[in-house]
Amino acid sequence: MKRMRRVKILATLGPASHDEKTIEELARAGADVFRINMSHASHELLAETVRRIRRVEASLGHPLGVLVDLQGPKLRVGTFEGGAVQLTSGETFTLDSERTPGGLTRVHLPHPEIIEAVNVGDRLLLDDGKIELRATRVGGGAIETSVVHGGKLSDKKGVSLPDTLLPVGALTEKDSADLLKALENDADWIALSFVQRPEDIIDVRKIVQGRAGVMAKIEKPQAIERLEEIIKLCDAFMIARGDLGVELPLETVPGLQKRMIRVARRYGKPVVVATQMLESMISAPVPTRAEVSDVSIAVFEGADAIMLSAESASGQYPIEAVATMNKVAVAVENDVNYRTIIRSQATEPEATAADAISAATRQVAETLDLAAIVTYTSSGSTAIRAARERPSKPILALSPNQRTIRRLSLVWGVHCVQTEDAISLEDMVDRACVIAYQEGFARPGDRIAITAGVPLGTPGATNMLRIAFVRQDGAGSS
């Protein structure tokens, strides 16, 4: 299961793919992390799906990550007498707190927090942005609006509020229950939807308490405004381009994607690019040329992972979608321009011993043409620092902690192996050389770079760099 690429692939499981046979085929085709979307999964399905992933993991002998994506606050209008109405541009339409079915002039909005938070002039986008309203009068339990762009509006369509900061956290009552169930089933990552403020991340971290990585989904304009504060607090983040493209002008999303990937590199946080990457493969066995270019751009920019949503969850060609994404990524990483582009986006290391060692390790490995960089990591931070440098040499992460190994399956360029902690420096060198040899990264006579924290097993204390020769027996000498 040695991958021929550095970027990781995150595949969403659903009706088309959550059986054990398909999960194994997806993993063999290139999926490194599996996403379970709690918008559509029950607690029973969550538990059974995780069990299936773990059985596949044991069968393949290769760590697989599990990401549980919380639904977040879903804001929707109520129902209509005839099931739908046609809104006309320029007309007045009211969203109110009356529970009766709606009509041509009004509809129930079962979210008092929206009615209280919206100000005159704020936009309300309905049905994924197809309909735009602008608030003209607020008060008395209702929002009176002018229809800017009309269209057909049917029962329980979604409401987006790009101009309004809602006075509610990103974690709903349902999310809290789903989060506890995800932790109970040893999820590796928790994705938090509709993050608006840093406090949303703090609320989740208090519950998670280090048992899983916390991923912030960036899909609200309010999150963009406080992006760096949010990124500092989360363990990773996702560029959720679907909702981001509804609440912000579409033409701004590509630039934001570039900016966010570079911020991720600066702070050493894994970043996932998501939504509509191979959308046409939901119903077609091949993607469009534009989709291939979209995937390629994310890989060229140095994203840690690229994600499939409905393509693998409910599409007709889930295996082909993963295989296609894998082929595109491999082709990009073998392109003559790839290394130049990746290096041009590098940022200066932080003024810490751990970051300085990681930066030096990349330079030494490339200058001396070493076979691989081997990192001993307890918490995963040493491997993430190594990946932040985007070295041209493979990164082999060794850890005694199974949770760490699985969590690192999301991180760029990291090949993970679970092994016992080294008991001495000599044992550390031997173990690194043997595993690099066994995993196919080094041959006898090759040299590898080894980074670790001394004393051994100290989390987050990378302070040592060794260069070792792989001997004929696979062991090492330095």
Residues 392, 304, single domain; the answer is no
Out of 8, 197, 217, 385, the active site residue is 217
CA distances from 238 to 104, 297, 321, 464 (A): 38, 16, 20, 32
pLDDT score of 476: 60
Distance CA 405, CA 188 (A): 10
Q: Binning pLDDT at 50, 70 and 90, where does residue 460 land?
A: low
Do 311 and 294 touch, CB atoms closer than 8 A?
A: no
Residues 218, 327, single domain; the answer is yes
Q: How many CB atoms lie within 10 A of CB 282?
A: 20
pLDDT score of 212: 98
Residue 236: CATH number of its domain: 3.20.20.60
Residues 293, 414, single domain; the answer is no
* 344, part of any domain: no
Residues 114, 203, single domain; the answer is no
Out of 164, 275, 382, 451, the active site residue is 275
pLDDT tens for residues 68-84? 999 998 889 999 999 99
Given 338, 369, 389, which residue is the final one in a domain?
338
Do 272 and 239 touch, CB atoms closer than 8 A?
A: yes
Residue 378: CATH number of its domain: 3.40.1380.20
* 467, part of any domain: yes
Neighbouring C-alpha atoms within 13 Å toward the C-beta of 297:
14
Residues 49, 111, single domain; the answer is no
Question: Does the active-site annotation cover 145?
Answer: no
Residues 130, 203, single domain; the answer is no
Q: Which of 33, 38, 29, 40 is nearest to 4 (CA)?
A: 29
Question: Does the active-site annotation cover 217?
Answer: yes
Place of tokens 């990401």: 67
Residues 63, 194, single domain; the answer is yes
Decide if pLDDT at 21 tops 90: yes
Given 338, 371, 397, which residue is the final one in a domain?
338
Residues 129, 231, single domain; the answer is no
Q: Which of 32, 45, 40, 17 is nearest to 316 (CA)?
A: 17
Out of 5, 8, 35, 197, the active site residue is 35
Place of tokens 């060692």: 357
Which of 98-107, 130-139, 352-361 bottoms out in mean pLDDT, i.e. has the lowest?
Answer: 352-361
* 229, part of any domain: yes
Which of 113-122, 143-152, 385-394, 447-456 bottoms out in mean pLDDT, i.e. has the lowest?
Answer: 447-456
| Phi, psi for residue 338 in degrees, rounded to 5 | -60, -50
Do 32 and 64 touch, CB atoms closer than 8 A?
A: yes
The number of domains in the chain is 3
Tokens of 208: 């998670």
Decide if pLDDT at 478 tops 60: no
Q: Binning pLDDT at 50, 70 and 90, where does residue 303 land?
A: very high
Do 147 and 92 touch, CB atoms closer than 8 A?
A: yes
Residues 66, 88, single domain; the answer is no
Distance CA 279, CA 405 (A): 30
Residues 174, 153, single domain; the answer is no
The pTM score is: 0.93
Residues 263, 244, single domain; the answer is yes
Regarding predicted confidence, which is higher, 422 or 201?
Answer: 201
| Rounded (5°) CA angle 130-325-66 | 85
Q: Mean pLDDT score of the chain, rounded to an integer?
A: 93
Out of 3, 28, 76, 174, the active site residue is 76
Decide if pLDDT at 155 tops 70: yes
Do 345 and 302 touch, CB atoms closer than 8 A?
A: yes
Residues 205, 321, single domain; the answer is yes
Q: Binning pLDDT at 50, 70 and 90, where does residue 323 land?
A: very high
* 53, part of any domain: yes
* 1, part of any domain: no
pLDDT score of 197: 94
Question: Does the active-site annotation cover 28?
Answer: no
Residue 109: CATH number of its domain: 2.40.33.10
* 369, part of any domain: yes
* 139, part of any domain: yes
pLDDT score of 473: 65
* 343, part of any domain: no
Q: What percent of the chain has pLDDT over 70?
A: 97
pLDDT score of 457: 63
Domain boundaries, position 269: 8-72+170-338
Given 338, 369, 402, which residue is the final one in a domain?
338
